[in-house]
Copies of this chain bind each other. A is one copy, B any other.
Amino acid sequence: MNLRSGWLRGTLFATALAFVTTAPVLAATDDTKATHFLLDNGMKVVVNPDHHAPIVTHMVLYMVGSADEPPGKSGIAYLIEHLMFKGTANHAAGELNRIVAEIGCLYHAFISHDYTALCERVAPSELGQMMSFEADRMRNLTLTDDAIDTERDVILEERRLTIDNDPQAVLDEEVVTALWQSQPYRIPVIGWMHEIEKLNRTDAVAFYDRYYRPNNAVLVVAGDVEPETVKALAEKTYGKVPRGPELPPRDRPSEPVQNTRRTLTLSDGRVSVPSFTRHWVVPSYRTAEAGEAEALDLLAQILGAGNRSRLYQQLVVKQGIAAEARAFFQGAMRDDSHFSISGSPRGDAKLADIGAAVDAEIARIARNGVTSDELERTKERYVRSVIFAQDSIANMYGLTLATGGNVKDVEEWPDRIRKVTADQVKAVAARYLTSDHSTTGYLLPKEN
């Protein structure tokens, strides 16, 4: 996997980032609680000290993603993310890459529908230098026709390789597009081929100038550093970047009522193992009623996280119709989100058998709920699982703030998970996961 630049595709990547946290959040002692403040130019800063290791994660998130693109310009957010790794007025292309390779142990970027994140992990002594580079590329990017033509071609090739040559990716893309009727999460983050091809310098400059501004950015620094140090360094670097124009409220088209059961089928000669994915529109942490997003998080765990989950036990172990079965909930989204289940058949089982078994397991929870044992065990395992996720603290603050949440939301999250009742889990299964309002993808070998 190329760590230089990535985009969140489908549920797997994004879920891994959705709510991952580390020990300091859980141990809310005074010296580990996050400090947050605003720079004069409107840039939000969160600092979470953690002195376990002499390392610091530095992450800048722009509150702009593919769901903010103008109509017909899909891929422009990703093109800008790519261009962030090219030259600026002050640094030649490749200079930052070289320096991070020398001093750092992690250097990457990722983009989703809601945010664009740039991240480095370095020794504390290098933090100032990283800030200086990031503050520079916030406003001084080289956006020449040449630079844009080159990166656009790189992305077109990436799209050919990672989407258009992969039947599963082609299907996933159209399933997501059919799931959402209006909300722009329906548009692929990498962009549609015919729209990427037309992106030009005018589009890039307009998008960069509008969104890459300190008052549209969040800085998260986590690790072996004190808030005072971060503040002083941030003021010397980011603080010098002038505030941009105020952006209007981030009100993107929202989803109308869902009334139908939808399926999308792709039969392709390159498919050897069929697969099944079913999606539902559900609220995110930002749009949910109190407790619902937490209940959806736990429902995903109970239904389909690991070999002890209900779907695995029922479909793989007991019925033997599936080779795998998993559930995902994408909690950290600004607008409504989606809940997904995926699986692949074993032996002669048909995808329809898997669909029916999935619906039956959901119906069982919607009718009978989950057991208290199962719920408590899941809570503890889930909370523990996030402790060990790499760079989770910076991700958690960054993604939460970039999708409309605040520092308190992050800090209270483990407690909110612990408070979820079995009735709440039952209620969200019954309310949201009805097969009458689902969107299913079937990937099949080519019929003869």
Contact = CB atoms under 8 A, between A and B. Distances in A.
Interface string A70-105: 011010000000000000000000000000000000
A252 B72 contact: yes
A262 B441 CA distance: 9
B192 A182 contact: yes
Contacts of A263: 262-263
B260 A262 contact: no
10 interchain residue pairs of minimum CB distance: A72-B253, A192-B256, A260-B264, A261-B265, A174-B260, A263-B263, A177-B181, A260-B266, A262-B264, A178-B178
A263 B442 CA distance: 11
A355 to B, nearest CB: 13
A76 to B, nearest CB: 13
A274 to B, nearest CB: 14
Q: Which of A186, A194, A254, A256 has the most CB of B within 10 A?
A: A256
A258 B139 CA distance: 38
A171 interface: yes
Nearest to A184: B71
A385 interface: no
> What's the number of copies of this chain in the assembled complex?
2
Interface string A249-288: 0011110110111111111000000000000000000000
A251 B71 CA distance: 10
A71 B252 contact: yes
A97 B389 CA distance: 69
A209 interface: no
A295 to B, nearest CB: 24
A353 interface: no
19 contacts: A71-B184, A71-B252, A72-B251, A74-B182, A171-B259, A174-B259, A174-B260, A175-B260, A178-B178, A181-B186, A182-B192, A182-B195, A195-B256, A259-B266, A260-B441, A261-B266, A262-B262, A262-B265, A267-B436
Interface string A425-445: 000000000001000010000
Contacts of A260: 170-171, 174-175, 264-266, 441
Contact of A261 (B74, B251, B264, B436): B264
A195 B253 contact: yes
A195 B253 CA distance: 8
A358 to B, nearest CB: 17
A436 B178 CA distance: 16
Nearest to A443: B260
Contacts of A192: 181-182, 256
A193 interface: yes
A156 to B, nearest CB: 13
A263 B72 CA distance: 26
A396 interface: no
Interface string A226-253: 0000000000000000000000000111
Contact of A170 (B182, B259, B264): B259
A183 to B, nearest CB: 10
Contacts of A74: 182
Interface in A141-181: 170-171, 174-175, 177-178, 181
A262 B178 contact: yes
Nearest to A177: B181
A165 B273 CA distance: 42
A8 to B, nearest CB: 20
